[in-house]
Structure 1
Amino acid sequence: MLLVAFVFSYLVIALFAFYSVVSDAVPKVKPSIQVLGLVWFMAMCVFFIVFRSYDTLGDTSVYVNEIFSEIGKSPSLSSYNTQALDTAEPLFYWLTKLGYITGSSRVYLLLAMMAFIGPLMVSIFLQWRSHFFLVLFSFVSLFVFYSLSMNIIRNGISVGWWLLGLVMLYQRRWIALSICVFISVGFHFSSLFFWVLVLLALVVRNIYVIAILGLVALVAAFLEFDLSELLLVASDSGLANELIGMKLARYGNKVFDAEYNTGFRADFVIFNLFFLALALWYKQVLNYKNHFYDFLVRLYIILSAIFFLSFQIPGADRIGILSWIIIPFISMFPIHEPPLRNNIHWKLTLFCITVIQGLVSIYIIKHLFQIS
């Protein structure tokens, strides 16, 4: 029954996304319908994310039963990090503390949800206002959207602000970009590494150099190159502080061995390469020229390469989230500019691709979340 309700809610979001496509060709349709769609989306998020079962996946129970109460009772961040098995970043600590003050773990989950979805929606609105629901639908159709909002919550909040930071970078809002960097790192220190990759994609402008590095990473992944030893070296190198070093050591020591499968994942490779091919089709066939889009493609290749190199590490999907979560940026970025601005047929094609992607995500959710 829960699965039926989820599929129905998802299909309603799909209808609003379809409307955002056809409204370009039928301008007399009132755009105020989008407000109704936004209300539906928020209600869907509250019902399935905030009021989910506490035994949904592995991390929900940890956040609610352990982290929520332990942070709430701790007198300070340093006190919590000294006593806990898993340390907390400062902004996540204070968000949890605020939820604990309300006395409700549901309010805590609501705050966490809004801290993730809020910046995500703002980034979509600022960049794709006229196609808001089509782009939002693209995010909702990604399985990683639900993993970030329901399971790896700290990562999710950090990623939401990371995405908004990318939009601020494109719009050259430097103060806002600095705030996004501060907040994303304040919720998860590991995001500092992904900001370094952003800097790398900005500095190395030759896409052929990036492509060669990506190909080397793919071959290394196929040959089962193990990145865990490098993580252990990095954790003990003194280049990282104690908190980051501990997080690197957890992956380097493969503490998740019992929970995750490792090895070369052809399905992940095909999935990532499909959207890279789409981006190259935009650039080569449609001759789409945009310097920031070129940067996004370089960043996507770098993130995918890091993901491929992580296949031997349990929990590699947590590293792959950054390459997956910018897929809507890769696929949807050009739709409000020539030559796609007035091409309703291609927008409908993107809509169909997104629906297929969503159906695959529903299949994954059904089996991973064990809902019926």
Structure 2
Amino acid sequence: MDIFNLKYYIIYFVFAVAAFIFSMYIDIKKKNYNNISRFVTFLLFIIIAVVFGFRDSDIGSDTEMYKWQFLTYSNVDFGIQVAFKYFIILTHFFTENYHYFLFAVSLLYVSIIFWSINIYIKNFEANFLLVGFAFVSLIFFIQLGINIIRQGVSLAFVLLAISYYIKDRNNIKSWLLPFIVAIGFHATSAIILFLFFIILLLKRITLNYYYLWYFILLGISAVGGSILSLGSFLNYFLVIDSKRADFYVKDQGTDGEFVVGFKAQFAVFNTIFLIIFSLINYKLLKNENENYKLLLKYYMFISGVFFMMFQIPYSDRWGIMSWITIPFLVAPLFSIKNTSKYGMLTVMFFIFIFVFFNIYNNSK
């Protein structure tokens, strides 16, 4: 694990240096140089995919399970997650080596994120590398790359779907298809699609109601309320994966392995970013960018659901559904449209986040 971490830290250091350089160009010269930043990001993402893919089997809590699924896929019930099954079958046409399979998954993961950034940043004329740097700075990026890799690919497709929706919401196939593929890799993305449709159906509901939703559910969670309070309704809420729903309701973890209860660190983390996003929306964007408000609504909506999941195992996996949008929501800070100079400050903030959470996780 130490060698793996060392490799990743070196890549991150190179990424951070490049990010600081490009942030200076954004702040001082108001130039993106996106052709160069896109190429540098592409190279670094490829290197990350190699490091993720050719990791030892003891790197990542679920790596052995994915190795087993790859080698014995014909005997595995993937349920509605058929996209992952067919991805395994396709990989088997070329190799029986599970390392190449892990590399293929990792390459797909970073490639879809790369693709999503390329589409999304056009909305704000943001720097490509800086948005990519925001991804690799957040602890979920490596977790989705080496632990819960199915959810990693799935959420990457969710980002692609959102990017295409923002680009051309009238081209339904362009954004609905990535959502369907996302569900085919990890069923829980159906929850995201469901919430996304609710937001679209209630498009006249203002941000104020989402703030109310966010803080009411945060308060309920703080006093011990959770989705478990709904009892058997959880089985319907997670009908796409009834076995897991039953596990959450009845077992609530295995021999104390998973800590449940109100998680102040997550509540603070999400709320700090909500404050940042609110300042971006009201101060920089003057509450006029409908695409940004759509993404902000989603962030608050899914964060509220996340708070209600604190009493169940794996609640952080619900948090990732909100955290995955953070790089997109900070993108206006990396834009050449801004007259203020936030690029370098934001890069240093993300470096702090990366260092802080790596020290925190290694100290546990």
User: Which interval holds the TM-score relative to the shorter structure?
Assistant: 0.7 to 0.9
Aligned residue among 165, 168, 174 for 1:169: 165
1:305 Cα deviation from its structure 2 partner:
0.6
Distance 2:310 2:217 in 1: 11
In the alignment, which residue of structure 2 is the partner of 1:114? 107
2:60 equivalent to 1:57: yes
Alignment gaps of 5+ in structure 1: 75-79
Q: Deviations over 1:3-55 (max 9, x none)?
A: 333222101011222232223445598954652453133113312x1122211
In the alignment, which residue of structure 1 is the partner of 2:85? 93
Distance 1:30 1:312 in 2: 44
Aligned-residue identity in percent: 22
Size of the aligned set, in residue pairs, is: 350
1:351 Cα deviation from its structure 2 partner:
1.1
1:355 Cα deviation from its structure 2 partner:
1.1
Q: Deviations over 1:198-229 (max 9, x none)?
A: 12222332222222221221111111113236
Superposition pairs of residues 150-229 of structure 1, within 5 angstroms: 150-172=146-168, 173-204=171-202, 205-228=205-228
Q: Does structure 1 conserve the Cα–Cα contact (< 8 Å) formed by 2:61 and 2:147?
A: yes
From the superposition, tell whether residues 29 and 217 of structure 1 become closer, same or farther in structure 2 (CA, over 3 Å).
closer
- Residue 15 of structure 2 aligns with an amino acid whose one-letter code is I
In the alignment, which residue of structure 1 is the partner of 2:42? 38
Distance 1:28 1:156 in 2: 28
Q: Secondary structure, in 3 states, of the residue corresponding to 1:115?
A: helix
Q: Does structure 1 conserve the Cα–Cα contact (< 8 Å) formed by 2:161 and 2:175?
A: yes
Distance 2:80 2:184 in 1: 10
In the alignment, which residue of structure 1 is the partner of 2:301? 302
Distance 1:333 1:67 in 2: 41
Distance 1:96 1:30 in 2: 34
Q: Secondary structure, in 3 states, of the residue corresponding to 1:264?
A: coil
- Residue 347 of structure 2 aligns with an amino acid whose one-letter code is F
1:112 Cα deviation from its structure 2 partner:
1.1
From the superposition, tell whether residues 141 and 254 of structure 1 become closer, same or farther in structure 2 (CA, over 3 Å).
farther
Superposition pairs of residues 251-266 of structure 1, within 5 angstroms: 251-254=248-251, 256-257=253-254, 258-266=256-264
Distance 1:303 1:348 in 2: 29
Distance 2:265 2:34 in 1: 41
1:155 Cα deviation from its structure 2 partner:
0.9
Q: CA RMSD in A?
A: 2.5
- Residue 69 of structure 1 aligns with an amino acid whose one-letter code is L
1:358 Cα deviation from its structure 2 partner:
1.6
In the alignment, which residue of structure 2 is the partner of 1:77? none
Q: Secondary structure, in 3 states, of the residue corresponding to 2:260?
A: coil
TM-score normalised over the length of structure 2: 0.88
Q: Does structure 2 conserve the Cα–Cα contact (< 8 Å) formed by 1:269 and 1:308?
A: yes
Distance 1:168 1:5 in 2: 33
Alignment gaps of 5+ in structure 2: none
From the superposition, tell whether residues 11 and 222 of structure 1 become closer, same or farther in structure 2 (CA, over 3 Å).
same
- Residue 207 of structure 2 aligns with an amino acid whose one-letter code is I
Distance 1:219 1:313 in 2: 17
Distance 2:264 2:32 in 1: 46
- Residue 59 of structure 2 aligns with an amino acid whose one-letter code is T
Distance 1:59 1:88 in 2: 20
From the superposition, tell whether residues 247 and 35 of structure 1 become closer, same or farther in structure 2 (CA, over 3 Å).
same
